[in-house]
A = this chain, B = another copy of it.
Amino acid sequence: MRILGVDPGLTRCGLGVIDAAGARKVALVHVEAATSAAGDPTPARIARLAAAVDAVLDEHRPDAVALERVFAQHNVRTVMGTAQISGVVMLAAERRGLPVALYTPSEVKAAVTGDGRAAKPQVGFMVARILGLAEPPRPADAADALAIAIAHAWRGGAAPSGSGASTDAQRRWAEAERAARRRG
């Protein structure tokens, strides 16, 4: 199953595509952080990011879209743009007949690090480890988009039922922590 994970935002929109084969095999297909200029009119910014989303959907043809669930209690100045982009992403997915799954930030963090309150660097570190990358994808929005896709692969569609995705993530994280301590 191919999954597009989206970390929505009006200034930077993370787009990460992975292939999930079986329970634990996930592989990077594509990752980017699409951007729009803060000085441009909002409709032009939205159209620019919508074109980036369409391009990824057309080129990589995912089977599902996983999207960060937006909460109004976040930063009031950015949340409106984030909600606008999430609406545009949902529309693009729905028009292609793709299922859309929503995950809270803490669900995503719990899935990839085993800790729902993990810091951003932990998320990037584990995304790199899970996907076999030399280092965390940058910027953070790109890593977050991949984390959302991984969360969907493990907690949503791809993992067999009762496989204990977060337990596996916790084991991986513990291994990674031990490795880091050995290196330090």
Which residues from chain A sit less than 8 Å from chain B, CB to CB? Answer: 41-44, 46-47, 50, 70-73, 76-77, 79-80, 83-88, 90-91, 93-95, 100, 102
Assuming A72-B79, A80-B70, is B94 touching A44 (CB within 8 A)?
yes
Q: Are B90 and A42 in contact (CB under 8 A)?
A: yes
- How far is A44 from B90 in the complex, measured between Cα atoms in Å? 8
- How far is A79 from B76 in the complex, measured between Cα atoms in Å? 11
- Chain B residues with CB under 8 Å of A91's CB are 43, 46-47, 50, 88, 91
Copy count, this protein chain: 2
Nearest chain B CB to A118 CB, angstrom units: 24
- How far is A72 from B47 in the complex, measured between Cα atoms in Å? 22
Assuming A72-B76, A90-B42, is B83 touching A47 (CB within 8 A)?
no
- How far is A70 from B95 in the complex, measured between Cα atoms in Å? 25
Nearest chain B residue, comparing its CB with the CB of A78: B72
Nearest chain B residue, comparing its CB with the CB of A48: B94
Q: Are A46 and B80 in contact (CB under 8 A)?
A: no
- How far is A71 from B80 in the complex, measured between Cα atoms in Å? 8
- How far is A72 from B73 in the complex, measured between Cα atoms in Å? 9
- Chain B residues with CB under 8 Å of A100's CB are 41-43
- How far is A94 from B90 in the complex, measured between Cα atoms in Å? 18
- How far is A102 from B73 in the complex, measured between Cα atoms in Å? 23
A-B contact pairs, 24 of them (CB 8 A): A42-B100, A42-B102, A43-B90, A43-B93, A43-B94, A43-B100, A44-B94, A46-B87, A47-B90, A47-B94, A47-B95, A50-B91, A70-B80, A71-B80, A72-B72, A72-B76, A72-B79, A83-B83, A83-B84, A83-B87, A84-B86, A87-B88, A88-B88, A91-B91
